[in-house]
C-alpha cells in the first residue's frame, strides 16, 4: 500500500495511476535539479491596451526544457509543483527574474509592467508579502511595475484567508497590482472580488475562442466586460488569435487583449526587439 499525500490510503493502483505516480516522481526529482542549477527560463507575452493601441504590460511564463526529460509544459509542471510544495521555489525564481528584468527595462527607458503568475497557495506562507517586498527592493524594481496574477482554482481555507488578505492588501498599498486570471472558469471569483484588492480580471481564453461563433458566448463576454466596468475593474481578454475576436472585444469596450494576434510568448531579447 502506498501512502498518498494528506495521509489517504491508496488501495490497488491502476496501470495509469502507477504511470502517473512514476512520472510525477521523476518530474519532481528533475525539477529540484533545475531549480538548483537555475535551469528554468522565463518567456514574456505582450498585452495590448485597446484604448491607446499601446503595449502596456508583459506577462511572464515559466519555461522548462530539461536535459533528460525534455520540455515540460506549465500545465503539467505547475500542478505537480503545487502538490510537492516546489511551487514556492518556482514563485521565488520567477519573482527574482522578472523584477530584475523589469528594473533593467526601466533603466533602458522601457517602462512596462510585468505580470507574474502566483498560486494563491503561496500566500499561505505568512512571509510571502515580506519576501516580495525584499525582492522588489533588492532588484531595484518599483512596486508599480509588478502585477501578480492569481487564479481561482482553489477555495481558500478559512484559517489561511485572513493572512492571505492581509498580505495582499499590504502589497497593494505599496503599489503592486493584483489580477484575477482565468475569470469564469473557477468557482471562487465573486468571493475573491469581494475580499481581495484586485485591479483587473482576465476573461479566460475558452470564452474568447468560441465567441465569434456562439451568440450566447458573445453575450457572456459582453456581460463580463460591462460587469467589470460597473465595479471599476479593468478587463483583459486572453487567447485572442483573430482580428474578428479583437474587433468584437473593442466593440464591447474591453480594456486590453493578449494572445497570439498581438504576440507569442518570447524571451526578453525578443521583447526588446518587439518594442
Which positions lie near ligand C2E, rule CB under 6 A? 45, 61-62, 73-75, 78, 90, 94, 117-119, 149, 151, 181-182, 205, 238-241, 259-260, 265
Q: How far apart are CA 268 and CA 273, in angstroms?
A: 9
Report the nearest approach of ligand C2E to the CB of residue 85 (Å): 13
Q: How far apart are CA 100 and CA 105, in angstroms?
A: 9
Report the nearest approach of Mg ion to the CB of residue 210 (Å): 15
Using rule CB under 5 A, residue 149 touches Mg ion: yes
Report the nearest approach of Mg ion to the CB of residue 202 (Å): 5
Contacts 24+ apart (CB under 8 A), 128-135: 128/167, 129/166, 129/167, 129/168, 129/170, 129/171, 131/92, 131/95, 132/95, 132/171, 132/176, 133/171, 133/174, 135/92, 135/95, 135/96, 135/99
Q: How many CA atoms lie within 13 A of 110 on its CB side?
A: 18
Closer Cβ to ligand C2E, 22 or 260, answer by number = 260
Report the nearest approach of ligand C2E to the CB of residue 15 (Å): 28
Closer Cβ to ligand C2E, 27 or 108, answer by number = 27
Q: Which entry of ligand C2E, Mg ion, none binds 61, CB below 5 to 8 A by partner kind?
A: ligand C2E
CB 182 within 8 A of CB 192: no
Closer Cβ to ligand C2E, 181 or 255, answer by number = 181
By CB under 5 A, the residues from 101 to 130 that bind Mg ion are 117
Report the nearest approach of ligand C2E to the CB of residue 13 (Å): 27
Report the nearest approach of Mg ion to the CB of residue 242 (Å): 18
Count Cβ atoms below 10 Å from residue 197 Cβ, excluding itself. Answer: 14
Closer Cβ to Mg ion, 45 or 139, answer by number = 45
Closer Cβ to Mg ion, 50 or 148, answer by number = 148
Q: Which listed range, 47-55, 138-146, 155-163, 233-241, lies at the site for Mg ion (CB under 5 A)?
A: 233-241
Contacts for 207 with CB less than 8 Å, ≥ 6 apart = 184, 217, 220, 221, 224
Using rule CB under 5 A, residue 181 touches Mg ion: yes
Q: For cell 491508496, name the residue.
A: 10
Using rule CB under 5 A, residue 152 touches Mg ion: no
Report the nearest approach of ligand C2E to the CB of residue 149 (Å): 6
CB 142 within 8 A of CB 100: no
Alpha-carbon distances of 154 from 4, 136, 248, rounded to whole Å? 20, 27, 31
Q: How far apart are CA 250 and CA 241, in angstroms?
A: 14
Closer Cβ to Mg ion, 30 or 98, answer by number = 98
Contacts for 1 with CB less than 8 Å, ≥ 6 apart = 9, 10, 11
Q: Which entry of ligand C2E, Mg ion, none binds 265, CB below 5 to 8 A by partner kind?
A: ligand C2E
Closer Cβ to Mg ion, 149 or 255, answer by number = 149
* DSSP code, position 196: S
Q: Which entry of ligand C2E, Mg ion, none binds 68, CB below 5 to 8 A by partner kind?
A: none
Which chain residues interact with Mg ion by CB under 5 A? 117, 149, 181-182, 238
Amino acid at each position: 500500500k502506498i501512502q498518498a499525500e494528506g495521509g489517504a490510503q491508496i488501495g490497488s493502483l491502476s496501470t495509469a495511476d502507477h504511470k502517473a505516480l512514476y512520472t510525477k516522481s521523476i518530474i519532481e526529482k528533475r525539477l529540484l535539479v533545475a531549480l538548483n542549477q537555475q535551469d528554468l527560463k522565463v518567456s514574456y507575452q505582450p498585452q495590448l491596451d485597446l484604448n491607446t493601441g499601446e503595449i502596456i504590460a508583459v506577462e511572464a511564463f515559466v519555461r522548462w526544457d530539461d536535459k533528460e526529460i525534455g520540455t515540460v509544459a506549465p500545465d503539467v509542471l505547475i500542478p505537480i509543483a503545487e502538490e510537492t510544495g516546489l511551487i514556492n521555489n518556482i514563485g521565488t525564481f520567477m519573482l527574482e527574474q522578472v523584477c530584475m528584468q523589469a528594473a533593467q527595462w526601466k533603466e533602458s527607458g522601457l517602462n512596462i509592467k510585468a505580470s507574474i503568475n502566483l498560486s494563491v497557495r503561496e500566500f499561505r506562507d505568512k512571509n510571502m508579502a515580506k519576501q516580495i517586498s525584499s525582492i522588489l527592493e533588492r532588484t531595484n524594481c518599483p512596486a508599480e511595475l509588478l502585477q501578480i496574477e492569481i487564479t481561482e482554482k482553489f477555495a481558500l481555507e478559512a484559517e489561511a484567508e485572513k493572512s492571505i488578505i492581509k498580505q495582499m492588501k499590504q502589497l497593494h498599498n505599496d503599489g503592486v497590482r493584483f489580477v484575477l486570471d482565468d475569470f469564469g472558469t473557477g468557482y471562487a471569483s465573486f468571493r475573491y472580488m469581494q475580499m481581495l484588492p484586485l485591479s483587473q480580471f482576465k476573461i479566460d481564453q475558452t470564452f474568447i475562442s468560441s465567441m465569434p461563433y456562439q451568440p450566447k458566448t458573445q453575450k457572456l463576454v459582453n456581460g463580463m466586460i460591462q460587469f467589470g466596468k460597473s465595479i471599476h475593474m479593468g478587463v483583459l481578454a486572453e487567447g485572442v488569435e483573430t482580428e474578428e475576436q479583437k474587433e468584437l472585444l473593442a466593440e464591447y469596450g474591453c480594456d486590453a487583449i493578449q494572445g497570439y494576434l498581438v504576440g507569442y510568448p518570447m524571451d526578453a531579447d525578443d521583447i526588446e526587439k518587439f518594442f
